Structure 1
Amino acid sequence: MNFRCSSFHAPLISITVVNFILRLISAVKCHLYTALLFTWTDYKTVFFPITVFACATAPARSCSSLLWCCVWVWFHQLMCNVSNQVCGRKEDKINHPWRPLPSGRVSESQAPVIRWATVACCVSMSSMYEPELVHTTLSLVAITFAHDELGGGNNVVGKALCTAAAYVCFEFGATTIIGVMDFVSVTAVIISGILTFTASHAQDFPDVEGDKITGRMTFPIYAPELSRFFTLFISIAWSIFLSWFWKVGPISTALLTGFGTYVGLRYYFWRTLEADKRSYLTFNIWLMAAHVLPLHARTSVLAF
């Protein structure tokens, strides 16, 4: 009798398990897609430039260190993205209506929970790798809080300072994971922080309309003409300075300077919304190229 009962219930149990697995897969896919939407616009801004910088500044010791670096950068990017979007819902309704909050994919009550859950996740991740790396994560949390909750990102200087400080934290953490922080690495991080402080406004040109509605004062809003001329100037000046500082060859210098000039000219002469979006994409490609230059200090690979 017991054997016959087990046989009778076995198909029902199998169906229940299969349904559970299918629902689990569906839920995981849904949450992954939500995370992708949170981070989508900043792969070109954070993930790729930071990872390239870490690889060039402190060449990877192993495939596992490179993988861990990518995971660490992505989760910290997610943490910053969620914080920024929780506090910038009005702006996103204009500039990025497809993001999880303005599209209704994440509710108002869920948003703060996700925001602080990502903080806990990033702190745990850093503590698992190296306890001292927790300080970097907590510094990034504090900078993000100052930018979003305390209104540091609502004015020109505060936004530039917060953005530069955040990039320094990202670069320090990624470089520590992937290699070692020595004189070359520390120098590269400091220079990159200054570059970011002077050039971070490049991301604000496509978002002018949304920023105006929310009352945020960015450089392109405060000085529309000067900000474009300044972008042209610094893209050329930084190309020349970085090529000289890292002592790359004449062809490498010419290529980077030429590309930087093209980026600056795009910003200055092409001023439509779509043009600004493409200009910012081009700017990030130039930024990644600039981030490769510290590699020359270790390998002389750019001597041509």
Structure 2
Amino acid sequence: MARIVIPSLTPHYVSSTPRSISISWPFDKSGHCVSSLLSAVKYHLHTAVLFTWTDYKTIFLPITAFACATGPVHSISNLVQCWIWMWLHLLLCNVSNQARSREEDAVNRPWRPLPAGRITESQAVGLRWAIVALCICWSLLYDQDLVLTTLGLVATTFLYDELGVASHIVGKNFCNIGGYTSFEVGATRVISATPSMDFVSITAVILSGLLIFTTIQAQDFPDVDGDKALGRMTFPIYAPEFSRTFTLLATVAWSIFLSWYWAIGPITTAFFVGLGTYVGSRYYLLRTLDVDKRSYLIFNIWLMLAHILPLHARTSLLAL
């Protein structure tokens, strides 16, 4: 499998609020065209970051943890290549999703590129298909199987955004499974020494898909107002009380099952089960918008830890 050697790392944003990117560009005073070009690059780079901003904690970091644990990570170069592959595909998904959800974002996230007026809907649709072509070509640098992973993600986003599957509770969850597992398979293949996936990797992807299917409603609680404005029927809207009870039961049950399945140590088990119980209890007991946003952040910490557990099958590092 071909590899691209990348000698340096790119810094990532870690705060929860998007900020403008400040970059100093050296150029000749007479180079007005150069200045305009670099200003345009800066503007569009900032727009791209805004498209992907909310999913660094929900997809980028958990999938990185998953790939490092199940791959496992082969080298710094492979890790950087994994980040580039994930970010391009994350941009693909977010541009596709946000191109049709200006009304929802105007309520929940008015700083996103469309409601903020940084890009028009027609431009976003055109950009979406350009990124599809870019992602296919990028995956082709590795092998044809990785291209199939990209195409699977494209099909999932098309079902989700263009065919309205996102408006149905079960259909939305199935699309979330397709999206997460596509990211997991692609990231694991890029980050590891070989393109093939062994029993541990395949099992981890299957369990992750089931985990996402039963807990992904955690992301919908803070977005109820926006989803209602867009006419979406999410689990928290359809069953406000039962969805919170189910989330509590699911996070506790998954914490216990995953600790048992990956045979982690008693101290690690106690911590992981305790965190899962805390997350589920927050969703059940604390129900304001601001608290739901905080609960979702803690949920993603729990999800990232769940994605790290397969590392124990390879290294026994979680035997405590």
- If the length of structure 2 is used for normalisation, what is the TM-score? 0.89
- Residue in 1 that maps onto 2:161: 148
| 2:282 is the alignment partner of 1:245 | no
Larger Rg: 1
| In structure 1, distance between residues paired with 2:145 and 2:70 | 20
Tell me the amino acid that sits aligned with residue 243 of structure 2.
S
Tell me the amino acid that sits aligned with residue 174 of structure 2.
L
Tell me the amino acid that sits aligned with residue 133 of structure 2.
A
- Residue in 2 that maps onto 1:211: 227
- Residue in 1 that maps onto 2:296: 280
Correspondence 1:24-173 to 2 at 5 A: 24-173=37-186
Unpaired runs of 5+ residues, structure 2, are 1-26
| In structure 2, distance between residues paired with 1:89 and 1:115 | 15
Q: How many residues align?
A: 291
| In structure 2, distance between residues paired with 1:281 and 1:145 | 27
Contact 2:100 2:121 in 1 (8 A): no
| 1:193-234 deviations in Å (ceiling 9; x for gaps) | 010011111100000011112110000000000000111111
Once the two structures are TM-superposed, the CA of residue 130 in structure 1 deviates from its matched residue by 1.9
After TM superposition, where is structure 1 displaced by more than 3 Å over at least 4 residues in a row? Answer: 14-17
- Residue in 2 that maps onto 1:260: 276
Once the two structures are TM-superposed, the CA of residue 62 in structure 1 deviates from its matched residue by 1.3
Contact 1:220 1:227 in 2 (8 A): yes
| In structure 1, distance between residues paired with 2:28 and 2:315 | 59
Between Structure 1 and Structure 2, the one with more helix by share is: 1
| 1:103-161 deviations in Å (ceiling 9; x for gaps) | 11101221111111111111111011222211000010001000110011101100000
Question: Quick one: percent identity of the two aligned structures?
Answer: 62
| In structure 2, distance between residues paired with 1:248 and 1:225 | 33
| In structure 2, distance between residues paired with 1:201 and 1:23 | 44
- Residue in 1 that maps onto 2:13: none
Q: Helix, strand or coil for the counterpart of 2:121?
A: coil
Tell me the amino acid that sits aligned with residue 195 of structure 1.
L
Tell me the amino acid that sits aligned with residue 178 of structure 1.
I
Q: What is the Cα-based RMSD across aligned positions, in Å? A: 1.2
| 2:210 is the alignment partner of 1:194 | yes
Once the two structures are TM-superposed, the CA of residue 16 in structure 1 deviates from its matched residue by 7.5
| In structure 2, distance between residues paired with 1:90 and 1:15 | 43
Once the two structures are TM-superposed, the CA of residue 17 in structure 1 deviates from its matched residue by 6.0
- Residue in 2 that maps onto 1:11: none
Contact 1:92 1:102 in 2 (8 A): yes
| In structure 2, distance between residues paired with 1:235 and 1:139 | 28
